[in-house]
Structure 1
Amino acid sequence: MFARLARFVVRHPWWTIVAWLAAAVIIIAFSPKLTTESDQGEFLPSGYESVQAVEIADKAFPEGADLTSLIVVQRTDGGKITPADSAKIAEAAKNLTAKKYPTTHGFLTGPQAVAPNKSIQLINVPMDMAAGEAAQDQSQAIKDIRTELPKQLGSGLEAKVGGEAALFVDNEDSFTQSFVLITVATFALIIGLILVIFRAPLAAVLPIIVIIATEQMSMGLIGAASKVLDFSGDDSLQIILTIVMFGVGADYYLFLLFRYRERLRAGEDRKTALIQAVERVGEVITSAAAAIAVTFLVLMLASFGIFAAWGPSLAIGVVVMGITSLTLFPAILSLVGTAVFWPSKSWKKQPKATTSARLGRMVGARPALVAIGAGALLVALASGAIGFKSDYDFQSSFPSDTESAQATEDMKKGFPAGQNTPVQVMIRSTDGQPLTEGELNAFGQQAKSLPGVGGVAPAQLSKADPKVGQVDLILDGNPVSNDSITMVKEELGPAVHDITPQGTELFVGGETAIYSDINKVVNRDLSVILPVAGVLIALILLALLRSVVAPLYLVPAVLLGFTATLGSAVYVFQGLLGQPGEVFHLPIMLYLFVLAIGTDYNILMTARLREEAKDGHEPRKAAALAVEHGGPTVAAAGLILAGTFSVMLLAKVSMLQQMGFSIALGIALSAFVMAIFLVPAITALLGRKAWWPGHGAEAKEPLKPADTREDFIPTGSR
């Protein structure tokens, strides 16, 4: 199949290019756009209690705001708030309300908003959850409010605006700068490294152009799939898709280009060399793309909607990139020919005594020692995963010198840490009788003594449905810390249910409860996704290698690499840096980029091991040649992807730093430890048994002998 495809694409490049462009234009022009959601609670299954609380609140309090900004007012001299100060603050709130800022529901303050120690006074600003143009209006409203506040308060008072909307405004630049940095770094690394390897500008620029076009085509197909499968993405999907597309696209491009150069050095003409290259890497790219796509599709089994949306979206991107790599890339190379390597002529020469050849000889000569060393390193790192803790405190990961961060700290001078993020208890009558404020207030008095409660806000009775009421419990600790989330899940939640008023039912909601449920659903999803993905990867390897034995050590190696990466993050961030935990979705991110994409390198290496065995080489020699020939490709691809993620360490947001370090290390372990050392060494030790019961070890008529050595880390001097 791949031989026929290779001959058609190489001999009819213009037909291939025109067909691809026509398909791209039709898909981009007529496909619907993917819709996105910002609220993570929207992605929880409806059966969870926190989601049910939100649904009840939406119906009972339709006028309620989605989020609240807080204005923290204090005296410039550090003194206590006086009655005169409170009067000025109330007048300022009234004047700001009259200005009707977009998405705001007014500015609320009063005696109850003065801290018990009179250090500060709060102005609550209920706001709608905004997206698109409304989000821009909301951001401008926050900026305008900050400009207006000093005029309204006059001398002697100062104010800082905090809360979710203000937090977004303050950190939007940090995220934008980080994402721009990642994008620029991706381009620079792909172009720079390929320039170093081949010293050819066209070879370096070509993948950037093709991958960008392929990504646009993929987004059109994802939009269409979202309508058919009824899913929506979150705000991070576009960034993740971009990284995935450039990661796998660069990998497959290098797989093809290295093999093309190898066949040219064997003395074949450029058309024959390209046909041989496409034929040889076609099975590898197809298997790798299938393994990654299937691994992504397993995310559809997730209960958490974000992950379920990532699955088909990323799978579509990878499949389209795989098709592009076997059609458009070869068609363009067929037209360009050896000019892709211009102005360098090193593609005509065979380097001697390369690093990859020396490493290959080491693996072939001492496979047991290499396997033990690589395995011991991965096991040692994996042991750290036992101490993994999730961290949901996104605010602490942002810079602490912004106004919203300072407002949060100032608020703690007079109110519990959870003032702005209460646990929302929804109480609903079950006996058909309306609730009374007395019942709700009595419940609130009982709740004051429950674990972790630092205060209780005045109860609210629904005007739309008098059988529903709301009591907000103010936590005395950080509402999104691991301790608070665990406390709500294991202590406060059950305790609240124990004091449910007679004739009612209650539902515990609010951000802390939502994160508690997210914790449950993420743990559940990982327990389902990892085993299923392992089985499916094993089946794909079985189909590729026609071997029952090889998947039995390749899949555990991939899972060990995943665990070693997670353990390394624990050692660095929880141990060395003393952080409370890792960003809660880090395991899924590692699943996407380490377990899924890292499988590329193992597939490439095992395919090369099988190829060398089929060419008649005994097992240890086959391992040595596989490392010598495949090592440079794996090294180059791994460097590009790991380098891209490592740039995230320069971001100002600590959760991006965690993700950047962890994923970069995971890719490096997959490429440089597993694919180049562990897998070839184990295969050499097993010998011909590794390919049982297939015919991987049966010699066939070898290709024309070629000096195909490459450097382990190639240089432009080649």
Structure 2
Amino acid sequence: MFGGIGRLAVRRPWLTILAWIIAAVALGLLAPQLKATTDQADFLPSHYESVQVSRLQEKAFPQQETPAAVAVFQRSDGGKLTAADKTDLGKVVAGLQDRKLDRIKSVETNPQSVSPNGRIALASIFATVKDPYDVKVSESVKEIRTDVKELLAGTELRAGITGAAATALDSQESAGDTDAMIMQATLLLIIVLLLIIFRSPLIAILPVLIIALTFMVATGLISTAAELGGLQADSSITAILIVVLFGVGTDYILFLLFRYRELLREGHDPKPAMSEAVGRVGETIASAAGAVIVAFLALLLSSLGMLRAMGPALAISVAVTLAAALTLVPAVFSLLGRKAFWPSKSWRKQPGHGLAGRVGALTARRPGVVAAVSGGLLAVLAVGAFSFNPAFDSESSLPKDLESVRAGEDLQRGFAAGQTDPTWVLVEAENGARLKQADLDAYRQRLTAAKLGQVTPATVSPKGDVAQFGVVLREKPAGDRAIELVSGPLRDAAHQAAPDGTRALVGGTSAVLADIQHATNRDYSLVFPVAGIAIMVILGLLLRSVVAPWYLMLAVGLGFGATLGSTVWLFQDIRGEQGLLFTLPVIVYLFVVAIGTDYNILMAARLREETRRGRSPAEAVREAITRTASTVGAAAFILAGTFGVLLLAKNSMLQQMGFAVAFGILLTAFVMALLLVPAVTTLLGRRAWWPGNRNTPVGDGESHRDPSPEKPHETVNAGAGSAT
């Protein structure tokens, strides 16, 4: 089948290229814009308590407003605010109100906005839209910061702006243009590495252009699917798509070009060589893509909309990349023929395979030692994963010199950390009955007695059937301690103290994050096993074996643990950070497990090919490592280098993500795929391929002579399902 696809693309190259260009242009012009959301509560299922609170608030208190940002005022000398200072503060607030900025409804303060110790005063900034992450709101907050400095000139006061909108603005500016940084780093790495490997400017540039065209088609299809299917996408999907498409796309192009070059070295003409290369490596590419696609689609089982929306989008991007690798790439390079390698003539010479050959020979001679050392290294690193502590406080990862961070710390000098973002406790009467004030007063007393935070008096809805209490926690709402308090003691106390004939619900930022934590743990226990089983099935079909998929997936699990454990040790134990990005296991799953499995598939397919051609297990592993090391190494360096750029970011969570994926990909490629998997396969011998026919020479309808052991490099291209 894959040989037929290759021959069709080679025979009709211009038609194939034109079809891709038309698809990219049409989708670019006609496809809708991909919508995004940054409100994590939007991604939780409706049965979670925090979501129920949000909906009940909208119904019972439609006029309730929460500040989009908060201005924190204090004296320049840190002393108590004087009467003159308070007068100046009032003038500043009035001046801000007169500016009438876009999507800013009002700027308000009152005597209660002064802290009990008299050192801090607050002014609430209300927006005309409910989403504090709205771009226009952030732009107006930026203008307010400039205006405040002007209005405070000549006074003894200084101020800083914090709150959701201010934090979102600082996060964006702190991270810089992350998408552009990732794109530029990826392009540079791809071009430089391909130039080093092939010594041809055409081969260095063409894959970038091909993947860029694929990116246009994929994003168009994703946005169309999102529009037609009502799919929500997280705001980070664009950056992830860039890495997936360029990382996976480069992998598949390298798989194909390395095999194409092998065939040219053996004397094949360019067009037949490209057709045969697709036939030989097509099954490996399709299997690798299939493993990645099912891993991404397993995210559909997630209860978090953030992950559920990400899965289909990434699966579509990989499917498009697979189609391009099997059609567009052969069409382009069949037109160029041997000129693609100009001006280098090294493609005509058989490579020396110095280091790769020595590694292959060592693994063939001492498979037990290699398996023990490589597996032991991964196991030791994986121990750190047991200390993984998920962190939900995105503000803690921001640089400490940002205004929103400094202002938040200043606020805590006069108020509790949860002052501007209280936890909400709602009491709802059954059957729409009116609540009794005496019951509400008693309920507030019971909540106060729990000593979890300051409890505000009840606000009763116009219908009288819902009452709302604010609980101001001493801890930061997004901090570990606040999440622990809300998910356990506060919810328990609120539920147990509810008056007869009512139900109590707890919501707010801390409650949302507590529910996300619960949903994430549930998703990990379901999504990962399902994805593992699906990948095992694909491996079994590719390798025609029920044995190999088991140890391959065990190796993948060990690599996952080693990646997560290494990150824990570096950031939690060495750098002393309180926790790691709570989505880090998913990120490792997406990029290290799913994409990194490509390298295992590449190696396993080549091992199977060499074994089926009559080689002994030792000869097969030596040949497979020698032939695949350059492909695996080049692909891994490109993907790892792309994420490694994130280590330059000031945001510690971006640094965590960059290190985890970069280091994990290198572990997967150089420890697992090139050492552990070949060593274990050698130890198992031909049993690794049971019950497949292990000794039958392979072919795809054409005649291929099995090479003799004395001349292992003459016809290494033979073998269905082979890898580069």
Q: TM-score range by the shorter chain?
A: over 0.9
1:106 counterpart SS class: strand
Query: Residue deviations 1:518-572, cap 9 Å, x none?
Result: 0000000010011101110011011111111111111111121112111111111
Query: Residue deviations 1:204-247, cap 9 Å, x none?
Result: 11111111111111112112222444321010011111110011
**Residues 703 and 184 from structure 1, CA distance in 2 versus in 1: closer, same or farther, beyond 3 angstroms?**
farther
The answer for the alignment partner of 2:45 in structure 1 is 45
**Residues 697 and 565 from structure 1, CA distance in 2 versus in 1: closer, same or farther, beyond 3 angstroms?**
farther
Separation (CA, whole Å) in 2 of partners of 1:437 and 1:503: 14
Query: Residue deviations 1:338-362, cap 9 Å, x none?
Result: 2221111111112335111111111
Query: Which deviates further from its counterpart, 591-600 or 168-177?
Result: 168-177
Given candidates 581, 590, 604, the residue that maps to 1:606 is 604
Q: Which runs of 5+ in 1 are unaligned?
A: 711-718
Separation (CA, whole Å) in 1 of partners of 2:474 and 2:536: 49
Separation (CA, whole Å) in 1 of partners of 2:242 and 2:69: 33
The answer for the alignment partner of 2:460 in structure 1 is 461
Separation (CA, whole Å) in 2 of partners of 1:287 and 1:353: 27
Match status 1:635 vs 2:633 = yes
By how many angstroms is 1:61 displaced? 2.1
Match status 1:296 vs 2:310 = no
Separation (CA, whole Å) in 1 of partners of 2:376 and 2:129: 50
Separation (CA, whole Å) in 2 of partners of 1:178 and 1:708: 47
The answer for the alignment partner of 1:522 in structure 2 is 520
Query: Which deviates further from its counterpart, 319-328 or 203-212?
Result: 203-212
Query: Which deviates further from its counterpart, 700-709 or 615-624?
Result: 700-709
Separation (CA, whole Å) in 2 of partners of 1:66 and 1:680: 59
Alignment of 1:130-141 (within 5 A): 135-141=134-140
The one-letter code of the counterpart of 1:551 is: P
The answer for the alignment partner of 1:713 in structure 2 is none
Alignment of 1:132-531 (within 5 A): 135-153=134-152, 154-352=154-352, 354-430=354-430, 432-435=432-435, 440=440, 442-453=442-453, 455-463=454-462, 465-531=463-529
TM-score normalised over the length of structure 2: 0.94
1:369 counterpart SS class: helix
CA contact (8 A) 2:88 2:155 kept: no
Separation (CA, whole Å) in 2 of partners of 1:348 and 1:66: 69
Query: Residue deviations 1:232-274, cap 9 Å, x none?
Result: 1010011111110011001001111111111111222222221
Separation (CA, whole Å) in 1 of partners of 2:694 and 2:682: 13
1:448 counterpart SS class: helix
By how many angstroms is 1:457 displaced? 3.6
CA contact (8 A) 1:49 1:508 kept: yes
1:107 counterpart SS class: strand
Separation (CA, whole Å) in 1 of partners of 2:556 and 2:90: 61
Separation (CA, whole Å) in 1 of partners of 2:53 and 2:374: 50
The answer for the alignment partner of 2:701 in structure 1 is none
The answer for the alignment partner of 2:80 in structure 1 is 80
By how many angstroms is 1:289 displaced? 0.5
The one-letter code of the counterpart of 1:654 is: S
The one-letter code of the counterpart of 2:483 is: I
Alignment of 1:4-153 (within 5 A): 4-65=4-65, 67-127=67-127, 135-153=134-152
2:471 counterpart SS class: strand
By how many angstroms is 1:186 displaced? 0.7
By how many angstroms is 1:67 displaced? 4.8
The one-letter code of the counterpart of 1:137 is: K
**Residues 703 and 106 from structure 1, CA distance in 2 versus in 1: closer, same or farther, beyond 3 angstroms?**
farther
**Residues 708 and 631 from structure 1, CA distance in 2 versus in 1: closer, same or farther, beyond 3 angstroms?**
farther
Separation (CA, whole Å) in 1 of partners of 2:73 and 2:472: 20
Separation (CA, whole Å) in 1 of partners of 2:151 and 2:445: 37
Separation (CA, whole Å) in 1 of partners of 2:442 and 2:87: 31
Separation (CA, whole Å) in 2 of partners of 1:374 and 1:310: 33
Given candidates 582, 585, 589, the residue that maps to 1:584 is 582
The answer for the alignment partner of 2:652 in structure 1 is 654
* Alignment RMSD (CA, Å): 2.1
The one-letter code of the counterpart of 2:446 is: Q
Query: Residue deviations 1:55-111, cap 9 Å, x none?
Result: 011122222335531111111222211233223323432443343333333222212
By how many angstroms is 1:438 displaced? 6.4
Query: Which deviates further from its counterpart, 249-258 or 380-389?
Result: 380-389
Separation (CA, whole Å) in 2 of partners of 1:341 and 1:438: 85
**Residues 340 and 440 from structure 1, CA distance in 2 versus in 1: closer, same or farther, beyond 3 angstroms?**
farther
**Residues 413 and 66 from structure 1, CA distance in 2 versus in 1: closer, same or farther, beyond 3 angstroms?**
closer
The answer for the alignment partner of 1:532 in structure 2 is 530
2:427 counterpart SS class: strand
CA contact (8 A) 2:390 2:582 kept: yes
Separation (CA, whole Å) in 2 of partners of 1:310 and 1:42: 14
The one-letter code of the counterpart of 1:100 is: K
Q: Which runs of 5+ in 2 are unaligned?
A: 699-703, 717-724
Separation (CA, whole Å) in 2 of partners of 1:130 and 1:619: 65
Separation (CA, whole Å) in 1 of partners of 2:209 and 2:309: 27
Query: Which deviates further from its counterpart, 261-270 or 171-180?
Result: 171-180
Separation (CA, whole Å) in 2 of partners of 1:38 and 1:21: 33
The answer for the alignment partner of 1:715 in structure 2 is none
Query: Which deviates further from its counterpart, 344-353 or 356-365?
Result: 344-353
1:329 counterpart SS class: helix
CA contact (8 A) 1:497 1:506 kept: yes
2:688 counterpart SS class: helix
Query: Which deviates further from its counterpart, 276-285 or 139-148?
Result: 139-148
Separation (CA, whole Å) in 1 of partners of 2:480 and 2:675: 38
By how many angstroms is 1:504 displaced? 2.5
**Residues 544 and 348 from structure 1, CA distance in 2 versus in 1: closer, same or farther, beyond 3 angstroms?**
same
Separation (CA, whole Å) in 2 of partners of 1:101 and 1:696: 74
Given candidates 686, 692, 695, the residue that maps to 1:688 is 686
Separation (CA, whole Å) in 1 of partners of 2:442 and 2:697: 84
The one-letter code of the counterpart of 1:142 is: V
TM-score normalised over the length of structure 1: 0.95
CA contact (8 A) 1:66 1:129 kept: no
Query: Which deviates further from its counterpart, 81-90 or 504-513?
Result: 81-90
By how many angstroms is 1:440 displaced? 4.4
CA contact (8 A) 1:166 1:404 kept: yes
Separation (CA, whole Å) in 1 of partners of 2:223 and 2:66: 27
The one-letter code of the counterpart of 1:600 is: D
Separation (CA, whole Å) in 2 of partners of 1:708 and 1:589: 42
Separation (CA, whole Å) in 1 of partners of 2:130 and 2:327: 42
Q: Across the two proteins, how many residue pairs are aligned to each other?
A: 707
CA contact (8 A) 1:546 1:693 kept: yes
The one-letter code of the counterpart of 2:138 is: S
The one-letter code of the counterpart of 1:413 is: R
CA contact (8 A) 2:364 2:621 kept: yes
Query: Which deviates further from its counterpart, 17-26 or 343-352?
Result: 17-26
Separation (CA, whole Å) in 2 of partners of 1:606 and 1:282: 15
1:478 counterpart SS class: coil
By how many angstroms is 1:393 displaced? 0.8
Separation (CA, whole Å) in 2 of partners of 1:137 and 1:699: 66
CA contact (8 A) 2:191 2:204 kept: yes
The answer for the alignment partner of 1:617 in structure 2 is 615
CA contact (8 A) 1:437 1:461 kept: no
The one-letter code of the counterpart of 1:581 is: G
By how many angstroms is 1:170 displaced? 2.1
1:418 counterpart SS class: coil
By how many angstroms is 1:487 displaced? 2.0
Identity in percent? 46
Separation (CA, whole Å) in 1 of partners of 2:472 and 2:190: 50
CA contact (8 A) 2:253 2:325 kept: yes
Query: Residue deviations 1:397-429, cap 9 Å, x none?
Result: 011111111100110111111112211112222
